[in-house]
Chains A and B, each alone.
Chain A
């Protein structure tokens, strides 16, 4: 299957700072990328959908000013958690879709805000 790389795998940041997570499709062009959040022992909750070259579509209840998503190219989408707080600590997973029936997932990023 296609490969999606997410970076970093884990990150610790101080409260009030911003952190950027990258999601890259390595061997295909991703017209759409999805960002999910997964709390411990829970399911994946979609945060937003991003299409290359256009603004992201956020799910209800997701603060778009806190979770900035950029999909500037067909192989890269970024999620920036701005002014992070401990409650933003979570596991963030991206997936990318482009011409296939299914989306392919990155390996996830564990964010810890201290």
Chain B
């Protein structure tokens, strides 16, 4: 079974600075997807960024980028120019490739952006 580990329960960063959230996972599969979801106080799950395992290039989405190290099974999220609205819980998730697969979530990292 797949497992996802987020080793940082809480993190804080000053506004406009950069922060990196860590995520490691365990799988025997070679093709899969990895996701970072944001859950603000409203508790709506919002997709931040997605990475296909077969792609070597790291995904980027505006201020959000990932460092995907497939061999090390590491998938960290970097948030640049942090904004107050980035304050939220961030969940790393593993998804199987293709079809209608379920997601396996990490325990989450609570990020606080301070003014």
Contact = CB atoms under 8 A, between A and B. Distances in A.
Nearest to B95: A102
Looking at A42, A43, A51, the one whose CB has the most chain B CB atoms below 10 A away is A43
Interface stretch (A12-20, A77-85, A90-98): A90-98
A102 B91 contact: no
Interface residues of A, number: 23
B100 A95 contact: no
Given A42-B107, A43-B106, A44-B91, A91 B43 contact: yes
Contacts of A1: 47
Interface string A84-114: 0000000101010100011111011000000
A38 B43 CA distance: 10
A95 B105 CA distance: 13
A17 to B, nearest CB: 24
Interface of B: 33, 35, 37, 42-47, 50, 52, 91, 95, 100, 102-108
Given A43-B108, A93-B43, A97-B100, 6 more contacts: A1-B47, A34-B103, A44-B45, A44-B105, A95-B45, A104-B47
